[in-house]
């Protein structure tokens, strides 16, 4: 496979890792996070500094970036997760902006707005693909567990969730931390693929792109999120569409989806053996119906 296509898949996986976290946090648990780029930035910079200053092996840097993303979500979560939806959204936006500002101003460590160049490009297709697949499996598993059901209950109706003994705050917190871990990991991979990082890569636009992917894919389907991440990463790359028109289309599409089909492209449909069998049954029965109609 050519390097070009490999690159697209790698970028799709980078986005997908962040989208997986967001799918769990915003999609399934219902906490609208506007600041995903902030977590990615934390992961990217920590991992980069570990590689460049401490000369740690790639796996350790990745782990460092991932844990940094997860750890920072803990103190951030305490004051913000108690808040109503829109407050939380703005607070996470504020967090991402604060991180960006911090990075820009701690020039000695982070290189300021010019960033850190010449990062060894250790991200290879097999590595990120394996990690992404493992992440997908784990997230899907979580969602189908009793913990996942509790998360969705929190999203659907917090008061009713509390009435059936669900500690809503704790579950939001857990989703927030998992999201932080995945976003941190995503940032770490990104840094070691692109070869340099700058705060401008982790601005509102990035956060928006990721949220849009979750919305497209449906807030109830990990499969949908995967498809959306793949398509929305690959398509613009392949078509080389003007970046601004792409965002115009995204904006319109988001409104369209909310008004017409808020469950997203796939609704709650997940790729599973049972669903494939059902799909197959459905296709077969179309054939027999047409035959009966003819007879």
Partner 1 sequence: MALLEINQLNKRFGGVVAVDDFNLSLEESTLQAIIGPNGAGKTTIFNLITGIYPPTSGQVKFNGDVLTGQQPFKVAKMGIARTFQNIRLFPEFSVLDNVRTACHMEANYSILEGLVPTPRRMREERELTEHARKLLELVWLADREEELARNLPYGHQRHLEIARALALEPRLLLLDEPAAGMNPDEAQQLMEFIREIKQKFNLTILMIEHHMEVVMGLCDYITVIDFGKTIAQGTPEEIQANPVVIEAYLGVGE
Partner 2 sequence: MILQQIINGISIGAVYALIAVGYSLVYSVLNFSNFAHGEILMIGSYIGFYALTKLGMPFWAAIALSVIGAGLVAVALEKIGYRPLRLRLAPSLYFMISAMGLSIFLQNFTIVTIGPNFRTYPDIFSTTPIEIFGLNIGRLDLIIFAITAISLVLLTWFIYKSKFGNAIRAASYNMRVASLMGINPDLIVSIVFMLAGATAGIGGILFGMKYTVYPWMGVLTIKAFIAAVVGGLGSLPGAVLGAFVLGITETFTAAYISSAFRDLFSFALMILIIVIRPGGLLGVVATEKA
Q: Where does this chain bind partner 1 (CB under 8 A)? A: 138-139, 141-142, 145-150, 152-153, 156-157, 159-168, 174, 220, 268
Per 3-state DSSP, what percentage of the chain is helix, strand, and coil (rounded to 5)? 80, 0, 20
Task: Provide the minimum distance between the beta carbon of 38 and partner 1 in the complex, in angstroms, as a whole number.
Answer: 24
Handedness of CA 110, 130, 225, 82 (dihedral sign): negative
DSSP state of 14: H
* Structure-block tokens of residue 276: 């494939």
Instruction: Tell me: does residue 133 bind partner 2 (CB under 8 A).
Output: no
Q: Strand pairing partners for 197?
A: 116
Give the C-alpha separation, 100 to 213, whole Å: 22
Instruction: Tell me: does residue 106 bind partner 2 (CB under 8 A).
Output: no
Cβ atoms of residues 89 and 36 within 8 Å: no
Nearer to partner 1, 51 or 220 (CB): 220
Give the C-alpha separation, 270 to 225, whole Å: 10
290 contact choice in partner 1, partner 2, none (CB below 5 to 8 Å, kind-dependent): none
Task: Provide the minimum distance between the beta carbon of 97 and partner 2 in the complex, in angstroms, as a whole number.
Answer: 7
Site string for partner 2, 233-272 (x = CB under 8 A): ---------x-xx-xx-xxxxxxxxxx--x----------
Alpha-carbon distances of 276 from 33, 144, 231, 265, 283, rounded to whole Å: 32, 18, 21, 17, 11
Which residues within the stretch 145-174 sit at the binding site for partner 2 (CB under 8 A)? Answer: 155, 159
54 contact choice in partner 1, partner 2, none (CB below 5 to 8 Å, kind-dependent): none
- Reduce the DSSP state of residue 116 to 3 states and report it: strand
Instruction: Tell me: does residue 93 bind partner 2 (CB under 8 A).
Output: yes
259 contact choice in partner 2, partner 1, none (CB below 5 to 8 Å, kind-dependent): partner 2
Nearer to partner 2, 27 or 65 (CB): 27
Task: Provide the minimum distance between the beta carbon of 159 and partner 2 in the complex, in angstroms, as a whole number.
Answer: 6
* DSSP labels, 144-207: TSHHHHHHHHHHH-HHHHHHTT--HHHHHHHHHHHHHHHHHHHHHHHHHHHS-B-GGGGSHHHH
Selected from 8, 90, 127, 271, the binder of partner 2 by CB under 8 A is 90
User: Which range, of 6-14, 94-102, 116-124, 191-199, touches partner 2 by CB under 8 A?
Assistant: 94-102
Nearer to partner 2, 26 or 233 (CB): 26
Instruction: Tell me: does residue 30 bind partner 2 (CB under 8 A).
Output: yes
Task: Provide the minimum distance between the beta carbon of 151 and partner 2 in the complex, in angstroms, as a whole number.
Answer: 14
Alpha-carbon distances of 186 from 68, 129, 152, 157, 251, rounded to whole Å: 12, 12, 24, 31, 24
Residues of this chain that bind partner 2 (CB under 8 A): 30, 32, 79-80, 83, 85-87, 89-91, 93-95, 97-98, 101-102, 104-105, 155, 159, 204, 208, 211-212, 215, 242, 244-245, 247-248, 250-259, 262
């Amino acid at each position: 496979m050519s390097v070009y296509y490999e690159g697209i898949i790698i970028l799709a996986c980078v986005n997908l890792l962040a989208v997986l976290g967001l799918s769990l946090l915003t999609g399934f648990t219902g906490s609208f996070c506007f600041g995903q780029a902030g977590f990615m930035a934390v992961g990217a910079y920590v991992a980069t500094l570990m590689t460049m200053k401490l000369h740690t092996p790639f796996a350790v840097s990745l782990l460092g970036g991932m844990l940094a993303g997860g750890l920072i979500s803990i103190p951030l979560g305490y004051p913000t997760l108690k808040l109503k939806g829109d407050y939380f959204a703005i607070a996470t936006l504020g967090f991402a902006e604060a991180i960006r500002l911090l990075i820009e101003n701690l020039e000695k460590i982070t290189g300021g707005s010019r960033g850190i160049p010449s990062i060894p490009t250790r991200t290879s297709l097999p590595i990120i693909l394996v990690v992404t697949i493992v992440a997908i499996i784990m997230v899907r598993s979580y969602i189908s567990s009793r913990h996942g059901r509790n998360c969705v209950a929190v999203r659907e109706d917090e008061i009713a969730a509390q009435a059936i003994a669900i500690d809503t705050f704790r579950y939001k917190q857990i989703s927030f931390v998992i999201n932080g871990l995945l976003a941190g990991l995503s940032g770490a991979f990104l840094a070691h693929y692109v070869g340099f990082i700058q705060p401008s890569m982790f601005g509102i636009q990035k956060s928006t792109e990721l949220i849009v992917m979750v919305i497209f894919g449906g807030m109830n389907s990990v499969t949908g999120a995967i498809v959306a991440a793949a398509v929305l990463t690959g398509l613009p790359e392949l078509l080389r569409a003007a970046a601004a028109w792409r965002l115009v289309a995204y904006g319109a599409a988001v409104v369209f989806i909310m008004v017409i089909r808020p469950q997203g492209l796939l609704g709650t449909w997940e790729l599973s053996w049972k669903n494939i069998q059902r799909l197959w049954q459905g296709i077969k029965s179309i054939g027999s119906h047409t035959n009966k109609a003819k007879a």
